[in-house]
Amino acid sequence: MRHPLVAGNWKMNGDSESIATLISGLLEIQCEADIAVFPPHIYIPLVIAGVGGSSVAVGGQSASEHKAGAYTGETSCQMLRDVGCQYVIVGHSERRSIYGESSQQVAEKFVVAQLSGMTPILCVGETLEQRDKGETLNVIAEQLGLVIELAGLDAVCKAVVAYEPVWAIGTGKTATAEQAQSVHQDIRRQLGESGAKTRILYGGSVKAANAAELFLQPDIDGALVGGASLDVSEFSEICKLA
């Protein structure tokens, strides 16, 4: 039985005051799902200290594929783990599209993250143009396949996969529950028998209003939440629905 996970990606938002308010709200959430939040790197120690002793996990929004060295501005997986992170997001569509991260680079980050003792949340997904061309499953197979090739199938199955249709991120558009389920089912099929235990999250303008229908789908095990994770009441409701 896969236990649901709701992950809140705060992206480049917040300050000490607003994050203190978020922490206070997180500590009041009562739900059955696992909860993880991903603050901007500079606030990770603040959040870890604030949620200490609770069941809320903390992770990094990204990390370098390098262990150490002359990489100005980068943060290593070992550094994130050293300050107490349990998760790290790899391959988010914004990292791929804005910063030009390739699927090969994402695969390398995945490997380093696992070796550091963290659980990667591997993001895969297609653009609107790719969906309109009927390329969704091929795109995701390629993104997932490179990670499997480098890390091994068993390693990928022990991580978390997040399907995030790029056209639905921050746009207010959401894949229908049936569309999301179809892709989640295909991802699980690609992972084979071991994938039966792999948590696959949906990400893409998830809100309390659409979360319940998404979570009813047999292959959707939670959500990677963006903007709604900055609203404590909204995020709390999503967690309760998972």
Per-residue pLDDT reduced to its tens digit, 123-141 = 999 988 888 899 999 999 9
For residue 78, the Cα-to-chain-centroid distance in whole angstroms is 19
Structure tokens at 59: 């992770």
Q: Residue 3's pLDDT band (boundaries 50, 70, 90)?
A: very high
Neighbours of 102 (CB within 10 A): 11
CA angle 58, 85, 230 (to 5 degrees): 25
**pLDDT averaged over the chain?**
95
* Residue 164 appears among annotated catalytic residues: yes
Q: What percent of the chain has pLDDT over 70?
A: 100
* Catalytic-labelled residue, pool 108, 126, 164, 237: 164
What integer pLDDT is reported at residue 57 of this predicted model? Answer: 98
Query: Residue 115's CB: how many other CB atoms inside 10 A?
Result: 14
Catalytic residue among 65, 92, 101, 237: 92
The parent domain of residue 164 ranges over 5-241
pLDDT of residue 102: 94
**How far apart (Å, rounded) are the C-alpha atoms in residues 47 and 81?**
14
Our count of domains for the chain comes to 1
Give pLDDT tens digits for 199-211: 999 998 899 999 9
pLDDT at 40: 98
28 is catalytic: no
Mean pLDDT value across residues 179-195:
95
From CA 39, how far away is CA 235, in angstroms rounded? 14
Question: At residue 173, does pLDDT exceed 80?
Answer: no
**Rounded alpha-carbon distances, angstroms, from residue 60 to 33, 38, 101, 147:** 20, 5, 16, 19
CATH of the domain at 109: 3.20.20.70
Q: Provide the whole-model pTM.
A: 0.96
**Higher per-residue pLDDT: 175 or 196:** 196
Cα separation, 92 vs 233, whole angstroms: 25
3-state SS, the chain, equals CCCCEEEEECCCCCCHHHHHHHHHHHCCCCCCCEEEEECCHHHHHHHHHHHCCCCCEEEECCCCCCCCCCCCCCCCHHHHHHCCCCEEEECCHHHHHHCCCCHHHHHHHHHHHHHCCCEEEEEECCCHHHHHCCCHHHHHHHHHHHHHHHHCHHHHHCCEEEECCHHHCCCCCCCCHHHHHHHHHHHHHHHCHHHHHCEEEEECCCCHHHHHHHHCCCCCCEEEECHHHHCHHHHHHHHHHC
Pair 202, 223: CB distance under 8 Å:
yes
